[in-house]
Structure 1
Amino acid sequence: MHIQSRRAEYLRRMGGFEVVATVATAHDAMRTASAAVSDGAPIDLVLLDLGLPDARGVDLAAALSGLRPGPDVIAITAQRELATVRTAMSHGVLLYLLKPFTFAAFEEKIGQYRRYREALSGSGDAVSQRDVDRAVSELRMTGDRRTAKKGAVPETEDTVGRAIQDSPAGLTASEVAARLGSSRVTAWRYLERLADDGAVDRVTEYGNTGRPQVRYVWHVTP
C-alpha cells in the first residue's frame, strides 16, 4: 500500500468521505479537479503532499483555489520550517498535517475539517457571524479533544513516531523511554497505539536468555 492509498484507506475507516481520485503529480491533480468542476461535481477537499515531482505544492494550492468552486486544501508534508507553513497558508492551504502521522492524528485533523464544514453548512448563500466564528474556532482547535477522548497527548505521539522513523533499525520501548525521559510503560503505550494504527511494525527478537523483546520499526509500504 503506497502513501496515497493509505490516506484513502484512512478516509474509508473514518466514513463519510468518497475518494474521487489519487494522483501523483500537480498536472494530474489540476486536471482532475478542473474536470470535476466542468462535470458539475466539484471536489470538496484535496489532501495535498507539498513534495510533488513536477511543481511546488504551494503553487498547486494557489491554482486550485482559483477554481470556482475551488476545493479546500489540507497540506501533508514533513516540512516544518515556519516560512514554508506561512507560504502554504497564504496560498490557500486550510490546515497542515505534519509527517509522520498516525491514523489518530489523521482522524483528528480530518474531523477538525469536517466540523469546520458543518459550521458553514447552513441553508442559503449567507452565513451568520456566529457561524463564521464557530468555523474559524474549529480550524484553530488543537489536539485537546483527541487527548481527552483517547488519553494521549498528540505532541508526544508525534515525537515517538518521529523517533521510530528516524531509527531504521527500530527502537524498543526502553530505548524510546530513554529518549523521551519517560517511563517504559508510557513509551510502550504510545508505541502500541502507533502499532495498532499501522504506523509501526512490531518485530519480536529472541535472545539467548530472558524474555523476548519487541522492537518497533516504522512501517514501510511496498
Structure 2
Amino acid sequence: MSEFKLDEGFEYFLEKFGKPEKQESCTVETLEKFKNKLPDRLLEYWQEYGFCGFKSGLFWIVNPDDYEGILDEWLEHTDIPDNDVYHVFARSAFGDLFIWGEETGYKYKIITASGWVIEKKGKVKKGHNNAIEYFFGFLDTKSHDFKDEAGNVLFESCIKKLGELEADEMFGFEPSLIIGGETIFENINKVNIFVHLSILAQFGQIEVLDHDALIRKAFS
C-alpha cells in the first residue's frame, strides 16, 4: 500500500478516543485476504495501527477472522447471510459488534447484550472508502457506554472494579439481559468475549430490527 495519510474522519476519531492501545500488527496475509472485500481505507488503518483498543477498551478495531464463528452463530437463524458476505470490523466494551457487508457496507450493528441486530442504511460499494471514514469520524465515546436502569453510565465503574479489558475480554451481564437479567452494575462481570457471545447466541432470542422497529422497541 502507499504511504498512509491521515484523513479528517479518523483524525477526529483519534482526538476523541485517544491513541491506540494493546496493538496487534496486521499481517500481509490478512491484508491480502480482505483486499476488495473490505474498504481499502480500513485496510490502511489496519496497516498503520493494527488491531487495537481505545479508551481502556471502550472501543476496538478487530480482525474479522477472529469473529467469523461468532458472527455465523448470531446470523444463522436470520436471512441476513443470504444477501451479502459480512464481517465484524469493530466492537465495543459491552460486546456490540459492527458489521460490514462486502457489497452493502456498514449494514448492521449487533447489540449483543439485548439480542438485537440493528439494520443500517449501508452504502453501495463505490462509496465504501468514504463511508468508513464517516463511520469513524462520527463515533463518540458516550454511544459505546452502557446505562443501568437508573440511567447511570457504567464503563468507568467497570474499569475501576474489574480493570481494563484485554483484546479477548468484554463486560457482560450475568444473568444475561436476554433472559431477564437486570441492567444493574452488580450484575456485570469481565468475561471472555467469544465464550460469552456464543452463549448469548444460543439463547435463540435474536431480533432483527430496522430503524422504525428499534424506535418502537425503545419506547415500548
Fold-level similarity (TM above 0.5): no
Which protein has the bigger strand share?
Answer: 2
TM normalised by structure 1 equals 0.28
Structure of higher CA gyration radius: 1
TM normalised by structure 2 equals 0.28
